[in-house]
Amino acid sequence: MSGIRGSVWAAAGLTALAAGACVSAAVEDDTQMTAVRAPLEECSAVTRSNAPIGFYGMDRRYSPSETMSSVAVVAGASFPFRIGEYYGPSGVRPVPGQCIEWQIEPPGHASLSEDGERLTMADDLPVGSVVQLTAVIAQEGEPTRTGALRISIVDEASRQLIGTWSFEDVRGCSRMSIDPPREVRFDAENFARVAWTVFERYWDYWGHYTWDPETGAFGLEPTGGNRLPPDVSATGRLVVEEERQLAISGLHFGTREPDRQTALVSAADAGCTLVFRRQM
């Protein structure tokens, strides 16, 4: 593992999973690294704090102050990020770059900008590669807290799906006959969240999804939730019709209140296609 403090260049690597095998990228042995110590007065407030460290500001599809533990990008992508102390509803307080020691694992094929606010992935990383960027908050060499960002390499079609989508319309049935979720989020590494009640970080349930961009075949397997419906269907079809619109058919996200007598039916049984629009 390599460590870099402040404004320096770094190399990051990948681990590619292919046919069950672990393939590691070559390490550039001649990389020069420089340690820059931060003045005590600039980092003392940070090192005295117990607030968790988080990454934010790296994806315009999420709230600018929303912390994230993972992102998915295509090979060769260059994206900005910020690092800060998370104070819940009060927001995020940025951490000065000179108070951070950067660690990139495994070493290999990515670079950190001189100001420590942008990471660029190598052009030839295969889909499935994973890089972890860790920020270590330290003062005079003594670590206090860490925050990690996991970067997964995906293809362009999968990247377009990742983000938060709001329900917009239905096709093929009456809007009054169904009760679709108001928001669906697709995260990196095939994790999905579903919400009828939209409130800050609340989600009704979550789980893993599978998707074949070529055929549109889509599967959703719930793994937990605050209000997990008992009748979520397993498969359907999902198509990203344009950059900000997707259509889901043949899938029932579940009955929000299964014990309540209602005339509502599942979107799958009604033959509905649910249309969602990406939040910006």
Cβ–Cβ under 8 Å, residues 91 and 63: no
E strand or H helix that includes residue 184? strand 183-187
Which of 34-43, 102-111, 227-236, 237-246 shows the lowest mean pLDDT across its residues? Answer: 34-43
Q: Determine the pLDDT at residue 141.
A: 60
**Residue range 62-98, pLDDT digits in tens:** 666 678 888 889 999 998 888 888 887 778 888 887 7
Q: Is the pLDDT of residue 231 over 90?
A: no
**Residue range 28-59, pLDDT digits in tens:** 332 222 233 334 456 777 777 888 888 988 76
How far is Cα 229 from Cα 234, in angstroms, rounded to an integer? Answer: 13
Range 112-124 average pLDDT: 87
Which residues is 192 bridged to in the sheet? 186, 207
**Residue range 176-201, pLDDT digits in tens:** 778 889 999 998 788 999 999 888 78
In DSSP notation, 238-259 reads EEEEETTEEEEES-----SSTT
Cβ–Cβ under 8 Å, residues 151 and 112: no
Q: Which two tokens stand for residue 123?
A: 């052009």
Q: Domain ranges in the chain?
A: 2-154, 158-278
How far is Cα 66 from Cα 55, in angstroms, rounded to an integer? Answer: 8
Q: Determine the pLDDT at residue 195.
A: 96
Q: Is the pLDDT of residue 101 over 70?
A: yes
**Residue range 14-25, pLDDT digits in tens:** 222 222 222 222
**For the whole prediction, is pTM greater than 0.85?**
no
Which residues is 219 bridged to in the sheet? 210, 235
Q: Determine the pLDDT at residue 40.
A: 41
| CATH number attached to the domain at 2-154 | 2.60.40
Residue 203's pLDDT band (cuts 50, 70, 90):
very high
How far is Cα 177 from Cα 182, in angstroms, rounded to an integer? Answer: 15
- The architecture that CATH gives domain 158-278 is Beta Barrel (2.40)
Q: Which two tokens stand for residue 143?
A: 């670590």
